[in-house]
Structures are given as structure tokens and as C-alpha cells.
Chain A
Amino acid sequence: MIPTPALEFRPILPEILLCTFAIVGMLYEAFARRPDPVPHLAIAIVGIGPAAVTAYALWDWSGPSYVLGDTVAVDRFSVVSRFVLLGAAFVGCLYYTHYASRDPGSFRGEFYPLTLFATAGMTLITAANDLIVIFLALELLSLSLYVLTGITGRRRASEAAMKYFLLGAFSSAFFLYGVAMAYGAATSTKIVGVAAPGIVQALAGQTGSQALALLAMALLVVGFAFKVSAAPFHMWTPDVYQGAPTPVVAFMGAATKVAAFFALIRVFDVGLQPLTWDWTPVIYGLAVVSIVVGSVVAIAQRDVKRLLAYSSIAHAGFILTGLTAANSTGIGAAMFYLVAYAVVTLGAFGIVMLVSARGEEQTSLDAYAGLARRSPGLAALMTVFLLSLGGIPPTAGFIAKVTVFSAAIGAGNWPLAVVGVVASVVAAYFYVRVIVYMYMREPAEGIESDDGVMPRIAAGVLAAGIVVLGIFPGILTGILEPASIVRW
């Protein structure tokens, strides 16, 4: 009687696995006799590993491109993002296991299930082909992250969580309003419709209302700009980065940006593709403001976590620079940048965690004075990450900056590239200042770093990846090239 859509669950198997093992983790936490992070870590890895395998199986997907009533897209674009996000979740869980072992009083087993739920939301948002699913996935990841931010219950963390929650709820309201307006414009919430015309078909055929579509575009930009912490929607970033536990910041900083940007690319480069001439100036403006605010305000920061927060705002601007070129070159450049940024962020916050020997102590710049003498390994790794953030060869950050600038210039946006290059020079100052502190200052008394082995190995692997990608970027671009063509 009522035609039901085909139930094809293979494309969302990664999300199903993540949610399943998140629930297993919650059940374990309920029955665990004593707080012990190791079984939790094992459960999380058992969820993340198979999720990655099932995501890989989608690389050569031969079924329909849109499944489950056209709400989920199956393409290589989403497979790439799933790999990055699952990797970030894995590293985040590793860090937290170490973080908990040195401060057992603050350990909360719910970290792992919440991380898996957040990851499920993030991977879903990059595959979603329906604005309602994007909104739900956005809420799923946001809710988990609000709680993760305040999970230790320290005063600073609780304050950060509250701030993140209030501003995040506000931005979600804008996003939802945008979804409603998009429905008004196109009488569909699907980005690409197969069974019935979606947003892109309605806008391309000019069957919808242009005025409502523009309003929808503006409101959706607000929602996404908040999540990727692009200025002027960045106000929460420094406080949340500073207040949240460092393993959470490592995961959140890397993964949220990847997920939100991938969703933004799908909504704007696919769904609102007929409005390209209207949204590129908006992205352009956001890019300029983010780059300038992030780079200039970071100079005044004395806390390394705050410094990295402002740097993340500037990096959001650089990624937006690539997206001003609304073509596969721009998408590919942004994807390369995102992968490089995710790896660097995970690594840099790993070092921050090790330098702050317990809890969130010792995050000020003074704690880094003479780090090279106390623990040369940490200082060397941090140097690699800072050089990559500053975009200095031979690191992946350099290649990433070059690709986004050349994509912007290719689209005729050379003034934006000039702003980006000038801001990179300014930004190099505060990255190099940290390096100077580590190598040329006398170590302060009474400061000791943590000697955790596992986070060191993880950070070492990430640093090696950064250098390898900086020298042989072809490894990654070869993978991204077939993935960066988002069609409809």
C-alpha cells in the first residue's frame, strides 16, 4: 500500500557499529566494579576498528549513490572523512586513557561512549544527504562534545561546557531556521533528490524561491561557521579549548572541524551549487575575517591552549580560502588541508597534555621554557607540529597552504591569497616564539613533564606522518583526487 524505501544498511554500518559499542561501553561502566580505563579503551577500539573496515568497504561501492530514502549519500568523499574522524577518535581515546591513569580521581568511564557517539554524529554528518539528518547529526556530535568538555567537573571545564552549550544551542537554532527556509525555497530537505527533486534540482530548475534560498544560505552559514569556529562566530573557541580536558580538545579540535567542513562542502558545493555566485562572497568574507582575527589575536596569548585555539580560527579561514574556489580543485585543497590540520592538532595537543604534568596545569608559555633540555623528544615533536601549523616546509602544513592558495588564485581570488600569505608570516611569529621558548630559554624550577610512553608513540607517528606528507604529498592527493569530485 505505502511504498517503503529499500533498507540498505551497509552504508551506515560504521555509525551502527559506533553506536552499538558506545552502548556496550555504557553497560560496562554501569557494572564495572572499579574505575579502570583499559577495558573501556578495548571496547572503544573494538568499535572503531570494524567501523573503519566497513567504511573502507564502501570505497568501491557499486550500489545506488543515495540510500535510505535518499537521506544518506554513499561516495568516496564520505569514506575519506570517516577514516580521518575514526583516527581522531582512536587517538583521543588513547590520550584520555593516559590522562586518566595519571589522575585517577578525575576518571569518568563515560568518556569513551560519548566519544563514540560524537564520532558517529561526525561521520554521519559528512555522509548525510538530507538537511534534517545533518541537523540531527550536528546535535548528536554537539551534545556529546558539550558533556565531554565538562566531563572532569573542574570549575574551568564546567564553565567552558556551559558557554559552549549556550552558544552552540543558539547557533543550532539558526541552522534549523535555515533548514526550514531551504524547505520553503525548494519544498525538499534532500540535498540531491532521486525519488523527488531535491534542493539542487529545485534551485537549478528555478522552481523554488530565490529569496528564501538566499536566506537559507545565510542561516546555514551561521550554523556551520560556529562549528568550524570561523570569525566572527568564534567567541567560544578560546575558552572551550582552554577549559576542556586536553584529550577532549585534541579530539574535538581535529574532528569537529573535519566533520563540519565536510558537511559544509556537501551543502554548499552540491546543494547550493546553483547559488555559487551568491555564497562565494560570503565564504570569502568569513575567510578574511577569520584569518586576520585568528592570526592577530594569537600574538597576545600566553597560554598555549589559547594560542592553539586562535590558531584554529585562522586555520578555519585558510580552509575557507580553498573553498572560495567552488570546484573540485578547491574541494580537494580543503580536504588536504583538513587532513593535515587534523593530524597536527591531534599531535600538538598530545604534547600539550604531556607537558602539563597533571590535569590542566602548566599550559602557559613559561612551562615550555627549556623544554628541549628537560625532554628533547617532546620539544622536537612539538617543533614539527608548530612548523606545520605555521606552514613551513618540509611539513604537510606547507603543502596544504600552497594548495588552498593556488585554488583561490585559480578562481581569481588572488587578494584573498595575499591576505593569507601576509597572515601566515604574522602567524609564524607566535609559532616560532614557542620554539624559541623551548630551545633558548632556561628551564623554570619545579616543572616536570609527564613520561607517558603511549601518547609519545602516538605523537611520534603523527609527526612522522606530517613530515612524510610534506615531502610526498602525492600519497594523499592520490587518494583525495577521486574523492573530491562531489557530483549530483
Chain B
Amino acid sequence: MPLDNIVFWVFAPISIASAIGMLLVRNAVHAALFLIVNFFCLAVFYLLLDAPFLFAVQIVVYAGAIMVLFLFVIMLLGVDSGVPIHERLLVQRPLAFLLGAAFVVEMFLAIRAGVGFATKAPAVFTANEGGNTQAVAKILFTQYFFPFEVTSVLLLVAAIAAMVLAHRKARTVTQAEIDAAAGEPDTEEMPVYGAEAAP
């Protein structure tokens, strides 16, 4: 058995177990930690697929930067502020399991018929000619430079979106309004975001 396969069969169960663990644990911090494990497994898969650049990026950007921010936000909002989940439509649960299982089987069969398993397409070697990182750079700045530019606009919009949602205009509140609000706790206006987290 080649080394690739041994590494794959070690990491594949870990990645699936961590993904399921992430869904099942109640504590948000634990879920985030499971997600980090999952990201690391994914990085290993990239390595197995001869994509060392993606391996590094996955660890630096996702497992590193994004997860730190993620944990930061969870801590900021308060770990224990989990909302109890009421499942109203219990009928959906078996149906979701059934359809999910059907989807997995469908994917399995299609990929098996399409590319088979444990074979590495010769295209990978031609694509990686001259080094993987160089190959990524070459394709990113020639063929795919326009999608690359569109991504920058997308990130700009994401930043604006976060700002619009988080920054509600501060306005002076009169004593009369506070008194009125005390009488009717359920007002139409949304409370300022993050107000609950303030000590």
C-alpha cells in the first residue's frame, strides 16, 4: 500500500469524525476547535493531491487567521449565550437523513464512475509543471485574473455589509423615550447589536 493511501485512511476518519463532532457539541468554542481539526485534515488532503501551496494557505489562512477571528467573536458574544433550539418540524428529521444519505450515495456513485478511486490523473503532473506554487501563480494572474479582481470587489462588499449590519446610527435618547420604552419592552426597533455582551 503506498504511503499516500495510508495517510489518507488515517486522516479521512478523523476529518469526518471532527465534522460530525462540530455539529453535535453544544459549546460553541468546542465546535470551533473541531472545525480547526477538520481544516487541518483538509490541508493534509490537499498535500496528498499534490497541491502544497493550498496546504500552506489552508493552514495559514483558515486554521490560523480565520479561526482565531472566529474564536474571538464567539468569546466576545459570550460562550454561554447559546439559544436553546426548539425543533418544531420533527417530521423533517428522518426526511433530512434519508435525503442526505441518498445524496452521499449519489455522489459516491458519480465520482466512482467519473474519476474512479486512488488514481491520480496525469493532468495533475502537467498542471504542476515548474512547481505547484508557480503553477498557481501562473494561472491566477493570466487565465483567472478577472475572477481574482471580482473577488476583491466581493471582499469590499463583505466589509461594507458587516459595517452596515453592525453600525447602527447612534442617536440621542431622551428620558421620555426611556420611560416609554420601559413600559413596552417589545418595541419594533431592534436593539443595538452587541449591547447584550456589554458588561
List residues of A whose CB falls within 8 A of some B CB.
2-5, 12, 19, 23, 26, 68-72, 108, 110, 113-114, 117, 120, 124, 130, 132-133, 136-137, 139-140, 143-144, 146-147, 150-151, 153-155, 158, 181, 184-185, 187, 195, 209-212, 214-215
A146 to B107, CA, bound (A): 30
Q: A150-B165, A212-B115 are in contact. Are A2 and B153 (CB under 8 A)?
A: no
Residues B153 and A117 in contact, CB atoms below 8 Å apart: yes
Q: A3-B142, A212-B114, A212-B115 are in contact. Are A136 and B151 (CB under 8 A)?
A: yes
Given contacts A23-B156, A211-B109, 16 further A-B contacts (CB under 8 A): A5-B142, A5-B145, A12-B146, A136-B151, A136-B154, A139-B154, A143-B154, A153-B189, A154-B188, A154-B189, A155-B190, A184-B114, A187-B123, A211-B114, A212-B111, A215-B114
* Chain B residue contacts of A158, Cβ below 8 A: 190
Residues A143 and B164 in contact, CB atoms below 8 Å apart: no
Residues B147 and A209 in contact, CB atoms below 8 Å apart: no
- Cβ distance A199 to chain B, nearest Cβ, rounded Å: 14
B143 within 8 A of A: yes
Instruction: Choose one: B142, B157, B165; the contact of A144 (CB below 8 Å).
Output: B157
A4 to B146, CA, bound (A): 12
B106 within 8 A of A: yes
Residues A211 and B110 in contact, CB atoms below 8 Å apart: yes
Of all chain A residues, the one with the shortest Cβ separation from B134 is A2
Residues B153 and A19 in contact, CB atoms below 8 Å apart: yes
Contact with A along B45-89 (1 / 0, CB 8 A): 000000000000000000000000000000000000000000000
* Chain A residue contacts of B23, Cβ below 8 A: none
B16 within 8 A of A: no
A376 to B13, CA, bound (A): 68
B150 within 8 A of A: yes
A136 to B188, CA, bound (A): 35
A-B contact pairs, 7 of them (CB 8 A): A2-B138, A69-B142, A71-B146, A117-B157, A136-B150, A143-B154, A184-B115
Residues B154 and A215 in contact, CB atoms below 8 Å apart: no
Residues B115 and A120 in contact, CB atoms below 8 Å apart: no
Total count of chain B residues near the partner, CB < 8 A: 33
Residues B153 and A108 in contact, CB atoms below 8 Å apart: no
* Chain B residue contacts of A124, Cβ below 8 A: 150
A334 to B93, CA, bound (A): 37
A110 to B164, CA, bound (A): 7
B1 within 8 A of A: no
- Cβ distance B128 to chain A, nearest Cβ, rounded Å: 14
Chain A to chain B: the 5 pairs with minimum beta-carbon distance, closest first? A212-B114, A209-B114, A211-B113, A215-B110, A68-B146
Which of A72, A143, A214 is the most central at the interface, judged by chain B CB atoms within 10 Å of its CB? Answer: A143
* Chain B residue contacts of A4, Cβ below 8 A: 141-142
- Cβ distance A134 to chain B, nearest Cβ, rounded Å: 10
* Chain A residue contacts of B143, Cβ below 8 A: 5, 69-71, 195
- Cβ distance B104 to chain A, nearest Cβ, rounded Å: 12
A26 to B159, CA, bound (A): 12
B125 within 8 A of A: no
A120 to B152, CA, bound (A): 13
Residues B147 and A114 in contact, CB atoms below 8 Å apart: no
A117 to B110, CA, bound (A): 37
B161 within 8 A of A: yes
Residues A71 and B154 in contact, CB atoms below 8 Å apart: no
- Cβ distance B76 to chain A, nearest Cβ, rounded Å: 19
Q: A5-B143, A69-B145, A209-B115 are in contact. Are A140 and B164 (CB under 8 A)?
A: no
Q: A120-B153, A154-B188, A215-B107 are in contact. Are A110 and B160 (CB under 8 A)?
A: yes
- Cβ distance A69 to chain B, nearest Cβ, rounded Å: 5
Instruction: Choose one: A69, A140, A210; the contact of B144 (CB below 8 Å).
Output: A69
Residues A71 and B164 in contact, CB atoms below 8 Å apart: no
A155 to B188, CA, bound (A): 6
Q: A144-B157, A153-B189 are in contact. Are A185 and B114 (CB under 8 A)?
A: yes
Residues A130 and B160 in contact, CB atoms below 8 Å apart: no
A133 to B153, CA, bound (A): 12
A131 to B111, CA, bound (A): 20
Residues A147 and B144 in contact, CB atoms below 8 Å apart: no
- Cβ distance B38 to chain A, nearest Cβ, rounded Å: 15
Residues B147 and A212 in contact, CB atoms below 8 Å apart: no
Instruction: Choose one: B141, B160, B190; the contact of A26 (CB below 8 Å).
Output: B160
A323 to B143, CA, bound (A): 31
* Chain B residue contacts of A187, Cβ below 8 A: 123
Which of B109, B113, B147 is the most central at the interface, judged by chain A CB atoms within 10 Å of its CB? Answer: B147
Q: A155-B188, A211-B109 are in contact. Are A133 and B147 (CB under 8 A)?
A: yes
B30 within 8 A of A: no
Of all chain A residues, the one with the shortest Cβ separation from B162 is A147
B26 within 8 A of A: no
* Chain A residue contacts of B25, Cβ below 8 A: none
B168 within 8 A of A: yes
Residues B164 and A108 in contact, CB atoms below 8 Å apart: yes
Residues A143 and B165 in contact, CB atoms below 8 Å apart: no
A192 to B111, CA, bound (A): 24
Which of B113, B151, B153, B189 is the most central at the interface, judged by chain A CB atoms within 10 Å of its CB? Answer: B153
Residues A147 and B165 in contact, CB atoms below 8 Å apart: yes
Residues A153 and B168 in contact, CB atoms below 8 Å apart: yes
- Cβ distance A342 to chain B, nearest Cβ, rounded Å: 23
Contact with A along B126-151 (1 / 0, CB 8 A): 00000000000010011111110011
